[in-house]
Amino acid sequence: MHRIFTFAMPRGMRPESRPERNLSVRPVPLARAVHFLPMRMTTLPMPPRCPEAALAAPAESLTKLSGTPGCEDQRFLLRAFHSFAEAAASLEQSYGTLRAEVERLRRELAESNSDLARSSEENRRIRMHLDRILEGLPCGVLVAGADGLISMANPEALRLLGQHAGSAPLSSIAQLPARVSDLLEQCRRLGTEQELEARGPAESSRWLSARHASIPEESDRASIFILRDISERKRLEQAEDRARRDQALAEMSAILAHEIRNPLGSLELFAGLLAESTLEAEAGLWVEHIQAGLRTLAATVNNVLQFHSMPSPQRAPVDLGALLDWAGQFLAPLARQSKITLSVQNGARGVLLADRHCLEQVLLNLVLNAVRAMPNGGWIEIAGRTIPQNSAVELVVSDTGPGITPADLPEIFKPGFSRRPGSPGLGLSVCRKIVEQHLGTIRAANRIQGGAAITVVFPLSTCSLKGIPA
């Protein structure tokens, strides 16, 4: 709606008759200056010509002013001010409601931010906890995508895959050796645990086991590989297999050895009777050869029995000096037959609680090894001496043979090791078992003059040393 306002000229003055000087008169303002309402005002200021009662009761004021001449404009303004006041009051109420809603939303946002911060901190702690668990796991964890890119690998996985401090960062399965990448691919394809034996040029076999688990929620179908070093388990399995084979071999060997030992004892008895009888010189020489062969055969049978079914030693006081004298007499015929000079240096003075038969077996094996190492003859010495300061006795068997190669020195006491064709390689391993049963030590070395020397040391108590005060 548009209203047209007209302005009256003073009576008696027409526009064309207005003096020219009136053009310079400043025009009279038609309305008062507009006053801006304060934000919280609920009413508007009224013009001073309006009655005060109109402000208090607008409807009544409008009625009173209806008959008043010249107040039509005032009534219109009063209605407008009244409508504006109502709109301002409604706007202020809406603004208050809006401020309350904003305050409520602000509190909710603050609470949400606080909850989010707590959740983020909790997630960080959980992530750190899981990272520590992954770093401390005894198995390797490797996470890779379908494209082969590695997104995570814990320290154990890097170690098992051969990644060291100076190695290039592992970012893809393609960087791994072909055998390892094939193992992971086969594990992924078959979904079962796969094993791989890795043998380095200067290390023993190492076995690697891999398991696979997919993550279907991932868009690229990432895979988790669990890696384990199963070398120890494999060694135990191999040891169990060897133990079963050894047990079967021991049972068979024990049966054969007992079957051979019975007639062998009779042969040794009759050979001894022949040696004591009055025979010609040539016949006596033949008997000595028979006795030497029987001793060698008896030593082999004893080695088999001692190795595969080592009995507990039957301990009794053994005079070590008397033992060395017996060894010299018993082994003399074998030495003469092999064109070997046998020397006994008996300086041992002591009594050892031991199984005499086992100690005889040790000396017999050591001398037989020396004889076999010198097929063209040579020199063997059996020496014994007491070490009072260590309460021990030392027995040494030396020879003038070719000696022992440095590579063979750590191996000669292992079962089955032998450089002689056809030998079972049990003699020195049996010697080591017997010596260890008597709490002694045995070692091998090469002599400066040439040849080899095997040294056996048995502990003695001070009260058992003859001629040495306790």
The mean-pLDDT minimum among 254-268, 398-412, 425-439 falls in 254-268
Choice between 270 and 308, residue whose per-residue pLDDT is larger? 270
Distance CA 401, CA 366 (A): 13
Strand order in the sheet with 441-446: 340-347, 378-387, 392-399, 452-459, 441-446
pLDDT band for position 399 (cuts 50, 70, 90): very high
Q: For residue range 85-101, what is the model confidence (pLDDT) as tens digits?
A: 888 888 988 998 999 99
Q: What is the mean pLDDT of residues 350-373?
A: 86
From 22-31, 301-310, 336-345, 410-419, the region with the lowest mean pLDDT: 22-31
Residues 156 and 268 in one domain: no
Count CA within 13 A, CB hemisphere, residue 192.
3
Q: Which domain CATH number covers 287? A: 1.10.287.130
Q: Does some domain include residue 2? A: no
Q: 381 and 433, same structural domain?
A: yes
Tell if the pTM clears 0.85, that is, is over it. Answer: no
pLDDT at residue number 379: 93
DSSP β-ladder status, 194-199 and 351-354: unpaired
Indicate the angle between helix axes 356-373 and 427-437, nearest 10 degrees. 150
Residues 99 and 168 in one domain: no
Phi, psi of 339 (to 5 degrees): 55, 45
Neighbour-count burial of 460, counting CB atoms closer than 10 A to its CB (0-12 exposed, 13-18 middle, 19+ buried): buried
Average pLDDT in the 142-152 region? 85
Q: What is the pLDDT of residues 335-360, one digit of tens each?
A: 888 889 999 998 887 788 888 888 88
Does the residue 26 lie in any domain? no
Residue % of the chain over a pLDDT of 70: 72
| Better-scored residue on pLDDT, 465 or 158 | 158
The predicted pLDDT at position 71 comes to 65
Contact 465, 349 (CB under 8 A): yes
CB 225 within 8 A of CB 212: yes
Q: Which domain holds residue 118?
A: 35-124
Q: What does the mean pLDDT of the chain come to?
A: 76
pLDDT tens digits, 157-179: 888 887 776 677 788 888 888 88
Q: How confident is the model at residue 39 (pLDDT cuts 50, 70, 90)?
A: very low
Q: Is the pLDDT of residue 139 over 50?
A: yes
Distance of CA 301 to the CA centre of its chain: 47
Would you say residue 219 lies in a domain? yes
- Enter the tokens of residue 408: 């063979």
Confidence tier at 446 by pLDDT (50, 70, 90): very high
pLDDT at 390: 66
Look at residue 257 in the predicted model and tell me its pLDDT. Answer: 67
Q: How far apart are CA 25 and CA 368, in angstroms?
A: 153
In a domain, 15, yes or no: no
Collapsing DSSP to helix, strand or coil, 323 comes out as: helix
Residues 216 and 239 both lie in one domain = no
Contacts of 75 (CB under 8 A, 6+ apart): 62, 65, 66
Residues 240 and 340 in one domain: no
Number of domains, the chain = 4
Of the pLDDT bands very low, low, confident and very high (cuts 50, 70, 90), residue 308 is low
CA dist 172 and 181 (Å) reads 10
Q: What is the pLDDT of residue 456?
A: 93
281-308 and 320-337 helices, crossing angle to 10°: 120
Do 316 and 356 contact (CB within 8 A), yes or no?
A: yes
